[in-house]
Structure 1
Amino acid sequence: MTTDELRSAWRGFNDLNSELLELALADGDLDEGSAATLLARLVGHIQYMGLLLRSDPARPTLINAQYSPWNWGHSNPDTLYLSARIDDAHDYRVFGTLGSVSQTTFGVYTGKGDQGTAVKVLADDLDVADDGTFEIIFGRERQGSNWFELSPGADSFCAYQTYGDWNREAKGTIRIECLGEPAGADPPSLAASTEAFGANLTASRELFTMWVKDIPARVFGALPKNVAIPPMQPPTAMAGAWFVPIAWELGEDQALVIDYQIPDGSPYVGICLTDRWSAMIDIESRQTSLNLGQSQIIDGHVRILLSTRDFGVPNWLDARGYRGGVVTWRATTPTQPSPPVVTVIGTDEIDRYFDPAQRLTPAERAAALARRHAHFADRNLP
């Protein structure tokens, strides 16, 4: 009987992942980039759900929640996302040392995606010791100076560390623990394991469907092409961040010019490419994102070229292999900033917008990409 139960549970796993593949293929007409990365995205989703299957709110463990190849959700390549599963039956202590990154924020979340709610905390608003150490309590009863209420239904904690300059900034050391004395862990039983496995499959379907179908169709699919909308603040985004999602679509001999003015006093501005399923594109090996530390800036102004060929422009977003997707501009600022200006041009017009004398050689581009890979290799170490 035991083997029959295990085989049945595994058939459910196989059936689900076949279903998810078909869901991703439902819209058809995949460009080369989307088709080439889909299988790795599916495996990454399985890896991520495997981590969640083994998580325990009474013994929370931080994981890198947006590590390649799993990174649905229009994530930010400049941000290290550390996440842990929690619940509203426990109180939690978050502690450690703040790094030198541009911005560190913490959040406790209820629900998923753009329908969730959150308690958000900026590191700048905390009482922090002179040596950079800190302690935050997310709990049901007030305690300490850095206390924040744990909302009913809370199910996840996230720490965001956003780099403004990859070469000069360093991440902090962040930990989470459950307060009190959690009960000892019970030995596993087949009944409990298969029940948890089934619940994990349901959560897997819901998460995948939300990011691959529902939000692209409801939010990003409704955007006009190659137009910047006014900056917005989604409810579950990190504190202080404004977003401008730009749905782009280009013909073979077209490119996109994106101009923006750096908001006064903003500690962070960045822009990145995501594919049709809201996943970041090859962030560790290609220049698919740019922050202020990586951009050429003239009088507080940044001009970026999004194109499917490399024309040697320093401020280039590498869209090779894709016909369209979403490019997301982010800025941290207390008030709503002005949106970027987006212009579709022919590739024969690039020299009118970008000085031909300021082009990178292949060796210079390769050096920039090597630095990029080294940064992610260091960032993703525990």
Structure 2
Amino acid sequence: MFCKFPTMQGRKQSISASRSMARTWLAAGLLMCSTTQAIAQANHNTNLEADVDWSDFSEMVRDLPDVLLDSLPERQRNDPDIQDGVKRVALSAVASAAIDALASDPDHPVFIPQVNQFLNVGQPNSDTTYRLARITPGGSYRLRGRKGNVRMAIIAETGLLPGNASQSSDEPGAPQPIHDINALGVDEDGRFDVLLSAERPDGYNGDWWQLQPGTDRLLLRLVSADWEREVDPALSIERLDAPVRRPASMLVDMKTALSNLINVTNFLAPVYLHKVESLREAGYINRLRKMPESTLGLPGQVYYEGAYELDGEEALIIEAKHPARCEYRSIIVTNDVFETSDWFNNQGSLNDAQAAVDRDGILRIVLAGKDPGVPNWLDTAGYRTGSIQGRWANCDTQPIPTVRKVPFADIRKHLPSDTPTVTKEQRETIVRDRRAGSQQRPLW
């Protein structure tokens, strides 16, 4: 759907069109879908030819970082951190798209990694494992496996999105339903078995999810708060109305794979590159706002966001009256190119299993680039600018936290007197434990 890259001018026009569409999506608060008009206009400007070859891909990879960097405000282009960040975003987009291009077969689907700590594009949530399976609209699929006990295990249907060379429609389609693995029945071994199809087969009495017309992808999100104790589901997917055997003649066609690779890369790489700058332009610096609802957001989940700016001797105190009932909450930080801060090796995110509420019912988070010696430290990893994003899931209230900038030396003056002290040795243990817990979750 996006462009072929025959010339430098064509490449810049294609990325510009992708960037323009990304700005439209950001303004609308969407994750991966836009309005029909915006998609159709982008497709008109960036139609991909079917006869792509390896040189088209290699040219795109060669020029992508420079084109992305050129799209940023001039004051950011000479920043070494941003230059490196843009290259990482470009490489993450290529890597994620390459896995998709090689593994995507709607007749023989697999849930493959989409974004994570190492495919860090589009600001993944540190508690969420994201996987994607391509399917054929109208097909019949069986999903089965072990249920696990994570907070949320959700499969969202998505359809007619950018990044499919065989797609015949310019329309993104309406928001599609979600399916809850945790709501499925299980046998005595804790295993589930569910059919996904357009219609329930006659005489079938097992678990069944209705597949909506136009769905060509299934987005799996597994959300865990207690990384060491919660167990992720293990699941498989198979198509029932097509032969299971796949001879060599049915392997992925490389022209189609390269087309999809270019399309998905051009969609992923620029889509959120300007997000932090857009928050600054809107005046949300060291302030938070409710995020507009997304067509791929989860029901019952409310997000808040804002940009942060700190020098080395400042901190932000983030406060909110905690809901009386809340299934899940989290807060993360990103850098200026919207990469989620490294949550494996830093305390770069906090969820309800990791950040306690104070005795007065207030959740207090301290955002700083160095350790303030308090439990609820949110580590910027040394970045002085970036963004904050939080979420409340299935809570009875969804407060937008307040933010105060304070001198680093005065942090404890703004916290309850009984706030515990975390020593350097204790922090080392905490981070090593979270590193182990995050690695022990299945990423691939």
Q: TM-score range by the shorter chain?
A: 0.7 to 0.9
Q: Which residue of 2 aligns with 1:317?
A: 378
Q: Whole-Å Cα distance in 2 between the matches of residues 318 and 23 of structure 1? A: 31
% identical aligned pairs: 25
Q: Which residue, 62, 66, 73 being the options, matches 1:18? A: 62
Q: Which residue of 1 aligns with 2:122?
A: 73
Q: Whole-Å Cα distance in 2 between the matches of residues 358 and 136 of structure 1? A: 47
1:370 Cα offset (Å): 0.8
1:260 Cα offset (Å): 2.1
- What are the equivalent positions in structure 2 for 1:142-153 lying under 5 Å apart? 142-143=200-201, 144=205, 146-153=207-214
- What are the equivalent positions in structure 2 for 1:284-323 lying under 5 Å apart? 284-299=344-359, 300-323=361-384
Q: Whole-Å Cα distance in 1 between the matches of residues 368 and 240 of structure 2? A: 51
- What are the equivalent positions in structure 2 for 1:142-181 lying under 5 Å apart? 142-143=200-201, 144=205, 146-181=207-242
Q: Which residue of 1 aligns with 2:148?
A: 99
Q: Which runs of 5+ in 2 are unaligned?
A: 1-51, 163-171
After superposition, give the CA deviation of every residue in 1:87-122 in whole Å (9 maximum; x if it has no partner).
314222222222122222221112559997231123
Q: Which residue of 1 aligns with 2:110?
A: 61
Q: Which runs of 5+ in 1 are unaligned?
A: 1-7
Q: Which residue of 1 aligns with 2:34?
A: none
Q: Which residue of 1 aligns with 2:295?
A: 235
1:77 Cα offset (Å): 0.6
1:78 Cα offset (Å): 1.0
1:169 Cα offset (Å): 1.5
**1:135 to 2:183 alignment:** no
2:273 is paired with a residue whose SS is helix
Q: Which amino acid aligns with 1:58?
A: D
Report the TM-score when normalising by structure 2.
0.75
Q: Which residue of 2 aligns with 1:379?
A: 441
**1:84 to 2:142 alignment:** no
1:340 Cα offset (Å): 1.5
1:33 Cα offset (Å): 4.7
1:39 Cα offset (Å): 3.5
Q: Which residue, 309, 331, 335 being the options, matches 1:275? A: 335
**1:365 to 2:427 alignment:** yes
Deviates more, 1:94-103 or 1:8-17: 8-17
Describe the shift of the 1:108–1:88 C-alpha distance in structure 2 as closer, same or farther (beyond 3 A): same
1:156 is paired with a residue whose SS is strand
After superposition, give the CA deviation of every residue in 1:218-253 in whole Å (9 maximum; x if it has no partner).
678646222221365422023432211222222443
**1:340 to 2:401 alignment:** yes
Q: Which amino acid aligns with 2:410?
A: E
Q: Whole-Å Cα distance in 2 between the matches of residues 242 and 189 of structure 1? A: 43
Report the TM-score when normalising by structure 1.
0.86
1:94 is paired with a residue whose SS is strand
After superposition, give the CA deviation of every residue in 1:66-96 in whole Å (9 maximum; x if it has no partner).
2332132232111122321223142222222
Deviates more, 1:324-333 or 1:259-268: 259-268
Q: Whole-Å Cα distance in 2 between the matches of residues 288 and 374 of structure 1? A: 15
After superposition, give the CA deviation of every residue in 1:22-45 in whole Å (9 maximum; x if it has no partner).
243232526565444443443332
Q: Which amino acid aligns with 2:429?
A: A
RMSD between aligned residues: 3.0
